[in-house]
A and B are shown apart, each in its own frame.
Chain A
Amino acid sequence: MRKSSTSHLTTYLLMLAIVILAPLGNVLLGKGMRGIGSAVHWEPSQMPRILEQIFRSGFVWLGILSLLSFFLAYMLVLSRADYSFVQPATAVSYLVVALLGSTLLGERVNALRWLGIGVICLGVLIVGRTPPRTTKEPGHA
């Protein structure tokens, strides 16, 4: 019983890390890409210069570091819970990304967008009421 509770607590802590690290990574990437011209106008001949600009951006590297940390936490949580449980449950990160986007990047998030994000979070709450794992467990590593 205690082992099961600890296991569930670890799963939820890992999911908390996912919820924070993924939006932070995306916001940092957004900040880094702001200084590079719009991809709508990118031409194939410009790609080497654009790639150089991307990889010379400190914000892009910080974003990549944050997303790699997210990826590690994601791999660990997937070994404990169903993909179909983990994926929708991480949707709460959409609220975090909008909050970070408006506060750190000064993006204007209108009422309709907040409503849409709220509906996403409601979907997350519904998913969160289902057990983390409904399929047969594989062997231990």
Chain B
Amino acid sequence: MREAFFFFLIVIGGTAGELCVTRAVRSVGEIGGFRPALILRFVKRALGNRWMFIGVGLMTIAFFSLLAVLSFENVSFVVPVSALSYAAGTGGAVVFLHERVTRQRWLGVLMVCAGVTIVWLSRM
């Protein structure tokens, strides 16, 4: 039960956090180059966005849940199972970020989810 709860936090917290961070980065715009000054300005502007803080907070919860699960499960099991966030992430990208997801990409995401299911079954 506790294991399922930790996985839930990893998947939901991680995915929601990534979506929030993406939203923050999008509002800053594309970086013009890779000079340190430009990167610093990009990070500074991103940190000034409230979505960045919400995103980092959610990702922190997911991070400590990951640490907890890694204390009793193999990393080669935990990390692939956390890919369940792909379905949630792609759906969230459509709903919250208004991204256009092609049929081909959906097929790829479905394949990833099938792979996660097989990895889960490998523990039985």
Contacting pair B100 A135 (CB below 8 A): yes
Which of A60, A83, A98, A117 is in CB contact (< 8 Å) with B89? A83
Is A39 touching B6 in the complex (CB atoms < 8 A)? yes
Q: Is the CB of B74 within 8 A of A97?
A: no
Asked whether any CB of chain B lies closer than 8 Å to the CB of A75, the reply is yes
Residue interface mask B53-73, A partner, CB < 8 A = 1: 000000000010011111110
Q: Contact at A120–B42, with CB atoms within 8 Å?
A: no
Interface size class of B (residues with CB under 8 A): 35 or more
Using a Cβ–Cβ cut-off of 8 Å, how many residues does chain A contribute to the interface with B? Answer: 66
Asked whether, in the complex, the Cβ of A116 is within 8 Å of the Cβ of B115, the reply is: yes
- Do the beta carbons of A135 and B90 come within 8 Å of each other? no
Within 8 A of A (CB), among B87-124: 89-90, 93-94, 97-102, 104-105, 107-122
Whether B31 lies near A79 (C-beta < 8 A) is: yes
Q: Are B75 and A105 in contact (CB under 8 A)?
A: yes
Which of B22, B42, B97, B117 interacts with A141 by CB under 8 Å? B42
A84 CA to B54 CA, complexed, in Å:
20
**CB distance A29 to B66 under 8 Å?**
yes
Tell whether, in the assembled complex, residue A39 and residue B72 are in contact, meaning their CB atoms are under 8 Å apart. Answer: yes
B119 with A116: CB separation less than 8 A: yes
Residue of B nearest to A123 (CB): B111
Do B30 and A109 touch across chains, with their CB atoms under 8 A apart? no
Residues of B within 8 A of A26 (CB): 66, 70, 75, 78-79
Q: Which residue of A lies closest to B15 (CB)?
A: A87
- For B94, list chain A residues within 8 Å (CB): 84
Is there an interface contact between A107 and B75, defined as CB atoms closer than 8 Å? yes
**Cβ proximity bits A20-35 to B, threshold 8 Å, 1 near / 0 not:** 0001001101100110
Residues of A within 8 A of B (CB): 10, 23, 26-27, 29-30, 33-34, 36-40, 42, 54, 60, 67, 72, 75-76, 78-80, 82-85, 87-88, 91, 93-94, 97-98, 100-102, 105, 107, 109-110, 112-113, 115-130, 134-135, 137-141
17 A/B residue pairs, CB under 8 Å, sorted by A: A10-B34, A26-B66, A33-B71, A78-B25, A84-B89, A84-B105, A94-B83, A98-B80, A101-B74, A112-B122, A115-B122, A116-B115, A116-B120, A117-B80, A118-B115, A123-B108, A126-B111
18 new A-B contacts, CB < 8 A, other than A123-B114, A141-B42, are: A30-B70, A39-B69, A40-B2, A40-B72, A83-B93, A84-B101, A88-B86, A94-B83, A107-B74, A113-B80, A120-B83, A125-B108, A127-B108, A134-B102, A135-B100, A138-B29, A139-B30, A140-B32
